[in-house]
Amino acid sequence: MASIMTNPSAMTALQTLKSVSKNLETTQSRISTGLRVGEAADNAAYWSIATTMRSDNKALSTVQDALGLGASRVDVAYTALSSVVEVADEIKQKVLAAIGASDSDKDKIQTEIQSLQNQLRFIADAATFSGANWLSVNSLAANGDPADGEAADAKIVSAFNRSTTGAITLGTIDISVQSIKLYDAGAAAGDEVNRGLLEGLRDPATGLRDDTDGLYSVASLSVIGASDAELEAMLDVVDATLADLTDAATTIGAAKKRVALQQEFTQSLIDSIDRGIGQLVDADMNYESTRLQALQVQQQLGIEALSIANSNAQNILALFR
């Protein structure tokens, strides 16, 4: 039945054209943004997951920056400790040379030892990066407790973790500054145990830091007027100090390796999360470009079909001529 009030063919063609135009708009948006899920309306679940993962990835990037800063601090401390070990070993050789030497020779040797002691202090004070120095510290300034005397641990933020319940926790790499410090301006007088490795008085028999009178430290020993027995005791103290310095360098070296491994892992984790986000929301550009061409053809055909349907009303006029 031909009708001038209702044109079913045109209505059908129009609905088809609207559907094609909507799909075409969606495809063009995906091609222009590169995203299959660009907003919550596209896919609420995927959008929510991707948004959370993007936020976590930004946090991981900040952690990566913190690891880079921590790596620099560790590297500075490690380099300084390596130099300190070499200088302390030279002091050991000087003390050894003083055994059996004349008083005038001991005076000359002490001049060299004093120069090396000054160098030790210079290295420790210079081992600063971004305001942090783990070798020359002030434990009193760090914790405000003069009775404590222990330097606070250094912490390097190394991980950002989200549990299955959504709870967030941070991981840290802790550096025991107390075990590696060389000088401590905040240590209480007479508290040799909590003083730095170089300045704390040591018992020659045990090599341990002690507050007994008549003991020696690398930072303050003097060979002037010392007997051979006293020089041998000094030698034992320097040797024990070297052992502790080697342990400190080992501690920092292990931390340096751990930070490097964590940096590598964090970067791999960031890349993995990026790939996971892409699987959820990225558009398949090969598919979308092919679909775009097909929809453009469908749109042209829809326009042609609508034109044909609209021309049916004109054909009715021919019946009255």
Look up the CATH number of the domain holding residue 64.
1.20.1330.10
Report CA Rg, the chain.
38
Whether 39 maps to a domain, the answer reads: no
Same domain, 96 and 171: yes
Domain-embedded: residue 195: yes
What's the confidence (pLDDT) of residue 320?
65
Question: Are 53 and 277 within 8 A, CB to CB?
Answer: yes
The pLDDT of residue 36 is 83
pLDDT at residue number 73: 94
For residue 16, being part of any structural domain is answered with no
Residue 133 β-bridge partners: 128
Residues 247 and 296 in one domain: no
Would you give the DSSP letter of residue 36?
S
pLDDT of residue 5: 61
- 17: in domain: no
106 and 200 inside one domain: yes
CA–CA–CA angle 264, 270, 274 (5° rounding)? 145
Domain annotation covers residue 91: yes
Residues 171 and 311 in one domain: no
Residue 171 DSSP SS3: strand
Distance of alpha carbon 160 from the chain centroid: 10
Q: What is the full per-residue pLDDT of the chain (321 aa) written as tens digits? A: 566 666 677 777 778 878 878 888 878 877 887 888 888 888 899 888 898 899 999 999 999 999 999 999 999 999 999 999 999 999 999 999 999 999 899 999 999 999 999 999 999 999 999 889 999 998 875 555 544 567 888 999 999 988 888 888 999 999 999 899 999 888 777 777 788 899 888 888 888 877 666 688 899 999 999 899 999 999 999 999 999 999 999 999 999 999 999 999 999 999 999 999 888 888 878 887 888 888 788 888 777 777 777 776 666 666 666
| Whether 2 and 100 share a structural domain | no
Question: Do residues 157 and 69 share a domain?
Answer: yes
Asked if residue 289 and residue 184 are part of one domain, the reply reads no
In angstroms, the first-to-last Cα distance of the chain is: 19
Distance between CA 95 and CA 227 in Å, rounded? 11
Asked if residue 248 and residue 162 are part of one domain, the reply reads yes
Task: Quote the pLDDT of residue 66.
Answer: 93
Q: Is residue 256 one of the residues assigned to a domain?
A: yes
Question: What are the DSSP calls for 78-104, one per residue?
Answer: HHHHHHHHHHHHHHHHHHHHHTT--HH
Count CB neighbours of 82 within 10 A: 14
Instruction: State how many domains the chain has.
Output: 2
pLDDT of residue 214: 63
30 and 79 share a domain? no
Whether residues 298 and 256 fall in one domain: no
Whether residues 179 and 107 share a domain: the answer is yes
Please tell me the predicted confidence (pLDDT) of residue 188. Answer: 75
In this structure, are 295 and 194 located in the same domain? no
Domain annotation covers residue 220? yes
Please give the DSSP secondary-structure letter assigned to residue 192. Answer: G
Tell me if 41 is assigned to some domain: no
What pLDDT score does 12 carry?
78
pLDDT of 241 reads 93
The residue among 111, 183, 80, 109 whose CA lies nearest residue 140 is 183
Q: How many CB atoms lie within 10 A of CB 56?
A: 17
Residues of the domain holding 294: 1-9+22-34+283-316
